[in-house]
Amino acid sequence: MQHPILYVARHAETVFNRGARMQGITAHTPLTLEGCRQADAMGAALAAHLSPTPRLDIWASPSGRTLQTAAVVADHLGLDYFEIRQDPRLVEIGVGDWEGRTYASIVAELGPIVDPGRGLFSRRAPGGGEWYPEIAARLRAWLADLDPRMPAIVITHGITSRVLRGMLVGGTPFEPGCVPLADGAPQGTVFRIENGREEPIHVGSGAAVMSKGF
């Protein structure tokens, strides 16, 4: 399948990231002041990399934190916020009953839930939590809907972006039979991906691991 040039971005820092709380899908978790600075830096980097008012699509998860990040990026590029294409297939990994809870409270109850070497969940969340192949399935459907001639900025989440980048450029499965997962990147990082290769055009200043939420 042919894919367009994609700029895959992880949203900026939120109040839940700072508080080390699970965000998941439904919670609206606004950006912190530092997150606003990170979004501003993302937009400035993309504006420097692209032509003024570039001809491209901006896609975003419908979560508040991604849309807030996308609004700042669009402003830098001279693009209309209301043209941003929201798609639920870009949301973060579903964390089920863990949503809204602190990492510390979950670990106190269940023991470790994150693989320290890779910064990935080591178990599925109860109550409807997702696993990596399920994220890949929805992303695969989203990729199939893209116009391969139209470059796109994609503002998504920590785990979802790792699955997407793994699909596009390769990565290491978390376990045998799992989908490839790319390495983690700090909040506010933007990768340019074309023909199976990626390059970071901006490395964010946020946390790269789940100890700060995701």
Per-residue model confidence as pLDDT tens digits over 116-171: 999 999 999 999 999 999 999 999 999 999 999 999 999 999 999 999 999 999 99
How many angstroms separate the CA atoms of 63 and 60, rounded? Answer: 8
List for the chain the helix, strand, coil content (%; round to 5): 40, 15, 45
pTM to 2 decimal places: 0.95
The predicted pLDDT at position 48 comes to 97
Beta-carbon-side half-sphere exposure of residue 71 (alpha carbons within 13 Å) = 13
Architecture per CATH, domain 6-212, reads as 3-Layer(aba) Sandwich (3.40)
Q: Where are the beta strands (DSSP E) in the chain?
A: 6-10, 57-60, 85-86, 114-115, 120-121, 152-156, 190-194, 197-202
Task: Identify the band that residue 211 occupies on the pLDDT scale cut at 50, 70 and 90.
Answer: very low
Q: Are 93 and 159 in contact (CB under 8 A)?
A: yes
Q: Is residue 94 within 8 Å of 125, Cβ to Cβ?
A: yes
User: How does residue 195 score in pLDDT terms, banded at 50, 70 and 90?
Assistant: very high
Give buried/exposed letters for 120-146 (b at 16+ CB in 10 A, else e): bbeebbeeebbbbeebbebbeebbeeb
Is the model's pLDDT at 49 over the cut of 50? yes
